[in-house]
Amino acid sequence: MSESSNTNQSSDFIREIIREDLETGKHITSVTRFPPEPNGYLHLGHAKSICLNFGIAEENSAKGARCHLRFDDTNPTKEETEYVESIKEDIRWLGFDWGDHLYFASDNFEQLYEWALFLINEGKAYVDDLSADQIRVYRGTLTEPGKDSPFRDRSINESLELFEKMRIGDFKDGEKVLRAKIDMTHPNINLRDPVIYRILHAEHHRTGNDWCVYPSYDFAHGQCDAIEAITHSICTLEFEQHRPLYEWFIDNLPVPHQPRQIEFSKLQPTFTLMSKRRLIQMVEEGHVDGWDDPRMSTLSGMRRRGYPPEALRTFCKMVGVTKFSGITDIAMMEHSIREQLNREALRRMVVLDPIKVTITNWPGNDHQEIMKAVNNPEDDSLGTREIPLSGTVYIERDDFMVDPPKKYYRLSPGSEVRLRYSYCILCDEVIKDSEGSIIELKCTYDPLTLGKNPEGRKVRAAIHWVPFKEAVSAEIRLYERSFTVEEPGAEDDWRTALNPEALTVLENSKLEPHLADASEGTSYQFERKGYFCIDSKNSTQESLIFNRTIALRDSWAKINKK
RNA sequence: AACCCCGUGGUGUAAUGGUAACACAACGGUUUUUGGUAUCGUUAUUCAAGGUUCGAAUCCUUGCGGGGUUGCCA
């Protein structure tokens, strides 16, 4: 395999900072981290962060660089072990590895608690008795400064004593908090005495009932970075105004390392919903079948849909890393998926919506010929396969029109078309049922057209077909974009933007015989239709189910629309 | 409204004071036994105004526009 995809990583402002820090000797290597909260499934936005953090580690591996996987589990009311496992699986699927560097913020609860005591002893933190509502009022607003809590100046000893009591469970949830003592009039609201410990009588997925006080994100994250010797702590833009607080803790605590926080803009693709909250709603309200429904922008959904992980990585590379919060055309991702699949997918013939075709001049019922088909025109080493042809085949319903428009090259009464990898056929007769729908076509074939063009006339189209007798039946699920508008998240109600055609189920598709033993995890191109894969959840040996990963680019559909 | 960040084709990025480059999209050709693939062409003087400079997308000033922030979420 070519290594060019690894070395071609273009630089960005973050990699530039790291390169400089390595050059000037500020750091001898880079240590990054991917810090998900285990309270949901990973989605496409996380892929960007994963590719960035693990990508940097790969690029600097010669210098011993590494990327940690750290679960940011400081809120026991929201987090579950189930998510920990799915997150690991998704990262591995994307092709990254954290080696021995698996960490949990909760591993550091004791150290964090001690650092909280340290701050109290320094007169830089205090226990506050104000309620959550009161704290909000005292904080002031964006335009008005806040006011000091009446408990702000209580003695170090009293705070020490109260914080100890908080820890052993003497108080109820919300009764008291520990706050950093910074500046209630600071223009940056994050520095107006932020809460750093709150009381939560909840069972933690790892520490059980050992604790009933938990550090806030702000108090935990940077310190965990410091403990793990993270050099560059990369996060998204909404944490930008938390950076002064991040630095305040690093400056005021006896931490072993000085990590640096750098922010970049998160991915926002068109026609896609990304917020965790809304993804949860899609599942819970039953708009989809689960977190791994192929209509979901979760990594598990995309995996089940058949998106190759390489394509996701290419896409992340394409969109780059900046501080500009724009919106990325999902067509870019679709392009990288098609590009990847075109290269590797085995070609097969599948008739999604069949019509029967009888070749009336075929030399007899028992006569059979073997056609040779290429497995992948992009890669000769994948060889050829054989498909039997007798007098009856299936073709696609929309490859035939009784009354075709001008530029329609496919089959119609009196016109000729090539059966791909086989002969040309001419349509002589259309047979309809009592309701007027087409049930069969009678055609004649030209025995002189196998492997060569007919003489004296031009046949413009080659259509796919499946032998009638040997065909294998299957259910096929056609997926489209999940939303009908570019920014579903910007709608008053995103539900109104759900695409009713995001999933179409075809129950009577006909596959060429080689697909009977299609294997899970392999991508196939159904010629002229798109890329498909076995549905990993519902398909069985007896009743095959394929998911459409993505349709082929279809310039005829465009012409037809005009 | 206060603070912070960001403005380069339709979209996402590059150009690190010296000819505005790449990808996607769109449109139009060529090739083709996949209306696929491949391939060729077309589409911006960089938000605006002023300043510094031989020279500005890049540096400075002001304005305009966009995003973020008022959880005991992360």
A99 and A113 part of one domain: no
CB A67 within 8 Å of CB A57: yes
A326 and A253 part of one domain: yes
The pLDDT of residue A7 is above 90: no
Query: Residue A2: what pLDDT?
Result: 33
Q: How many domains does chain A have?
A: 4
Domain boundary among A190, A218, A246: A218
Integer Cα distance of A546 and A536 in angstroms: 9
The pLDDT of residue A6 is above 90: no
Encoded tokens for A327: 């919106």
Q: What Å value separates CA A324 and C1' B63?
A: 21
CB A452 within 8 Å of CB A476: no
Residue A119: exposure state from Cβ atoms within 10 A (0-12, 13-18, ≥19): buried
Domain boundary among A218, A250, A274: A218
Q: What Å value separates CA A516 and C1' B17?
A: 65
Encoded tokens for A290: 């689960």
φ, ψ dihedrals at A475, nearest 5°: -95, 140
B strand bases under 7 Å from protein CB: 1-8, 10-16, 23-27, 33-38, 66-74
Q: What Å value separates CA A135 and C1' B71?
A: 11
Local confidence band at A80 (pLDDT 50, 70, 90 cut-offs): confident
Residue type, A321: V
Nearest nucleotide to A418 (CA to C1') is B33
Nearest nucleotide to A176 (CA to C1') is B72
Encoded tokens for A463: 């259509």
A157 and A167 part of one domain: yes
Q: How many CB atoms lie within 10 A of CB A398?
A: 13
Integer Cα distance of A209 and A167 in angstroms: 11
Inter-CA distances, A547 with A146, A278, A530, Å: 56, 24, 10
Q: What Å value separates CA A559 and C1' B48?
A: 41
Query: What is the model's pTM?
Result: 0.95
Residue A338 in domain: no
Q: What is the mean pLDDT of residues A342-363?
A: 97
Query: Residue A123: what pLDDT?
Result: 98
The pLDDT of residue A475 is above 80: yes
Residue type, A472: V
Per-residue pLDDT tens digits for A486-522: 999 999 999 999 999 999 999 999 999 999 999 999 9
Residue range of the domain that includes A482: 473-561
A271 and A299 part of one domain: yes
Query: Residue A562: what pLDDT?
Result: 64
A318 and A225 part of one domain: yes
Residue A340 in domain: no
- Please state, rounded to an integer, the average pLDDT across all residues of chain A: 95
Domain boundary among A463, A482, A517: A463
Per-residue pLDDT tens digits for A376-405: 999 999 999 999 999 999 999 999 999 999
Residue A157's contacts (CB-CB under 8 Å, 6 or more residues apart) are none
Per-residue pLDDT tens digits for A126-177: 999 999 999 999 999 999 999 999 999 999 999 999 999 999 999 999 999 9
A184 and A116 part of one domain: yes
Residue whose CA is minimally distant from B26 C1': A558
CB A224 within 8 Å of CB A249: no
Integer Cα distance of A369 and A390 in angstroms: 7
Q: How many CB atoms lie within 10 A of CB A253?
A: 19
A229 and A161 part of one domain: no
Nearest nucleotide to A75 (CA to C1') is B73
**Helix A330-344 × helix A309-319 angle, to 10°:** 140
Query: Residue A5: what pLDDT?
Result: 36
Question: What CATH number does the domain containing A534 carry?
Answer: 2.40.240.10
Lowest mean pLDDT among A52-61, A287-296, A346-355, A552-561: A552-561
Percent of chain A's residues with pLDDT above 90:
95
DSSP conformation letters of A249-306: HHHHS--S---EEEEEPPP-BTT----HHHHHHHHHTTSSSSTT-TTS-BHHHHHHHT
CB A94 within 8 Å of CB A316: no
Integer Cα distance of A445 and A462 in angstroms: 14
φ, ψ dihedrals at A265, nearest 5°: -85, 140
The pLDDT of residue A1 is above 70: no
Encoded tokens for A378: 């992009």
Q: What Å value separates CA A238 and C1' B32?
A: 50
Q: What is the mean pLDDT of residues A407-428?
A: 96
Query: Residue A79: what pLDDT?
Result: 84
Per-residue pLDDT tens digits for A231-245: 999 999 999 999 999
Query: Residue A456: what pLDDT?
Result: 87
CB A192 within 8 Å of CB A146: yes
Residue A542: exposure state from Cβ atoms within 10 A (0-12, 13-18, ≥19): exposed
Residue A344 in domain: no
Encoded tokens for A406: 């001008």
Lowest mean pLDDT among A19-23, A354-358, A427-431, A555-559: A555-559
Q: What Å value separates CA A469 and C1' B72?
A: 69
- Hunting for tokens 């693990």 — which residue is that? A54
Residue A117 in domain: yes
Query: Residue A406: what pLDDT?
Result: 87
Q: Helices (DSSP H) in A292-410: which residue ranges?
A: 299-305, 309-319, 330-344
A455 and A389 part of one domain: yes
Integer Cα distance of A317 and A59 in angstroms: 13
Encoded tokens for A278: 């809304």
